[in-house]
Chains A and B, each alone.
Chain A
């Protein structure tokens, strides 16, 4: 069964460093998302992306965050200058589109620890 894949599975970084989390959405999907989950808390929406641009972003997604689809397969989340409170599991997700289904599938997550 097709799946969303993410790398790295775990990254430790120093405060102030830049981090790039990578995702390969399911191949025929058109809508892409990033969510995060701080340990012990609920899953929170960060950003949605469609047709090569951001569709919507949450209050969490400030100027330190950016997303990019550099080629036909990858979808990346960049955090420019990490803070301690950015420590969380980051989930990439994707959805097919209007004719192919509304189910949103999640990747295995990238666990980011900022020290």
Chain B
């Protein structure tokens, strides 16, 4: 089966650091995406990991361990505008027949 787990909700304080975890069990794996989604809006691309290790992009970093079926998204220097849902999605399939399998998303609330 296809299973992607992430916490439903998290809270944090402005200026702090937060780590959102994602574990997955999927029949195929061709990379893992993190998207940000504000309510009623489209998912916005944050990061893509296909090899093990840490990818850093400004205030956002994403880590992948394929052997453990585990990823996390790290948000530093939190701002109020970071309040959103964060979606973990596994890319399944071959290059020409790929699809994203999404987790339920983690709703992050940032407080002043």
Contact = CB atoms under 8 A, between A and B. Distances in A.
Interface of A: 31, 33, 35, 41-45, 48, 50-51, 55-56, 58, 89, 91, 95, 98, 102-109, 111
Interface residues of B, number: 26
Nearest to B42: A106
- The dominant DSSP class at the A interface is strand
Interface in B69-112: 87, 89, 91, 93, 95-105
Given A56-B93, A98-B95, A102-B48, A107 B42 contact: yes
Contacts of B53: none
A47 B44 CA distance: 20
B11 to A, nearest CB: 19
6 contacts: A33-B99, A43-B89, A48-B98, A91-B42, A98-B95, A102-B31
A91 B43 contact: yes
A51 B97 CA distance: 11
Choose among B48, B95, B97, B99 the residue with the greatest number of A CB atoms under 10 Å from its CB.
Answer: B99
